[in-house]
Amino acid sequence: MKRAVQKAVLRTLGATRLHRLLAPFTAGQGAILTMHRVRPAPTAAFRPNAHLEITPEFLDHQLGWFRTKGVDVVTLDEALARLASSASGRFVVLTLDDGYRDNLEIALPLFERHRVPFTVFVATGYPDRDANPWWMTLEAAIARSGRVAWTASEPVTLPTVTTEEKQNAFNTLAARVESLPEDTQRAAMDDFAVRHGVDVAALVADAFMHWDEVRTLAASPLATIGGHTVNHPALGRLSDRRAREEVVSGADRLEEELGRRPRHFAYPYGYPGKIGERDYRLLAELGFVTAVRTTPGTLTAVSAATPTALPRISLNGYFQEPRYTDVLLSGAPFAASALKRRLSGSRRASRPAPASASSG
């Protein structure tokens, strides 16, 4: 339901053009966009991770829209330079998280055709084939089963026959997974996969690039490869030592495989409650030029002062129309909640829209 409300807000802002009135105050100079997968929409009714993918048609259309609207697509470095110089003209930065194979096979040709730069943030456990992306494992287990059993914490058995039951089970178990300590999630999900007949190795090999493919992508003059840790944890839930280890080891692996150390980073999850001030300082201390979150917002000169805590706007699978992007880029939908946060002085986490366990 939350999604329907968000859609209504975007639609109303767009239809009334109210966002255009607010834009001079809320749009900032530009925005960083978050994507994950780019592929033709699967036909299954149960698609709990649909917010994490957009179609090639939408991406193509959106890139053309940027050109006709005079919105420059720039690199993260160029974005920082523009913020520092208060250069005029709207811009966006394209980023894709995790390292999905479709980024190479489907998105790259579109970026090339439109001649726009982009950054892919790779969690190195995926090309190293040492990972269990729990949101995909949960989806696969629930999709193939009539019931699933969770045993790692607050044990529960749930029916998963109808699409509604499957979606409810996904939501319940995603919350269970996310409440586990970061360093025990992997073992719990490996066990869950075995008990439900999910071949995680095959799932990872199917969805994510291996190193040869990451190298092919990195060879594009339009591409930047950024860090995204090794195991895709919520850094804010790790000790100082473990958080540093995840960032440094991920950067080390990228440098070993690609011959270049990453200068940009995306926080897995990346919203309050999952990351925080300690992590922004860590990334700055480790020499990263930028680090991007998933907290929505536009970029202003103020953003340049905190380059390891930059907001991003999701090109979300549920909002695949340029008119929604137009409203999002105006910054208007985020202005009210940002103001509320500022007035209340609250740092409490509010989950990004739509609530998505795996975003980032």
Cα dihedral sign for 56, 229, 206, 152? Answer: negative
- C-beta of 227 vs 268, nearer to Zn ion: 268
CB of 84 to Zn ion, least distance (A): 28
Q: CB nearest Zn ion: which residue?
A: 97
Q: Which is nearer to Zn ion, 91 or 170 (CB)?
A: 170
CA–CA distance, 118 with 74 (Å, rounded to integer): 8
Token duo for residue 357: 């366990």
Q: Which is nearer to Zn ion, 19 or 264 (CB)?
A: 264
Residue 231: CB minimum distance to Zn ion, A? 11
Min separation Cβ 251 and Zn ion, Å: 16
Torsion sign over Cα 284, 242, 314, 222: positive
Contact indicator for 122, 215 with CB cutoff of 8 Å? no
Q: Give the residue with the Cβ less far from Zn ion, 30 or 360.
A: 360
Distance of closest approach, residue 7 Cβ to Zn ion, in angstroms: 24
Bridge partners of 73, per DSSP, are: 92
> What's the closest the beta carbon of residue 266 comes to Zn ion, in angstroms?
7
* Chain mean position to CA 220: 22
Alpha-carbon dihedral sign for residues 270, 276, 278, 280: positive
For the bound state, the minimum distance from the C-beta of residue 275 to Zn ion, rounded and expressed in Å, comes to: 12
Under the rule (CB under 5 A), what is the footprint of Zn ion? 97-98, 268, 360
Burial of 77 (0-12, 13-18, 19+ CB in 10 A): middle
C-beta of 36 vs 166, nearer to Zn ion: 36
**SS3 at position 94:** strand
CB of 71 to Zn ion, least distance (A): 25
- Closer residue to Zn ion (CB): 36 or 82: 36
Q: Say how many Å lie between the first and final Cα of the chain, rounded.
A: 22
Cα–Cα separations (whole angstroms), residue 101 to 35, 150, 205, 302, 359: 13, 30, 9, 35, 17
Nearer to Zn ion, 311 or 360 (CB): 360
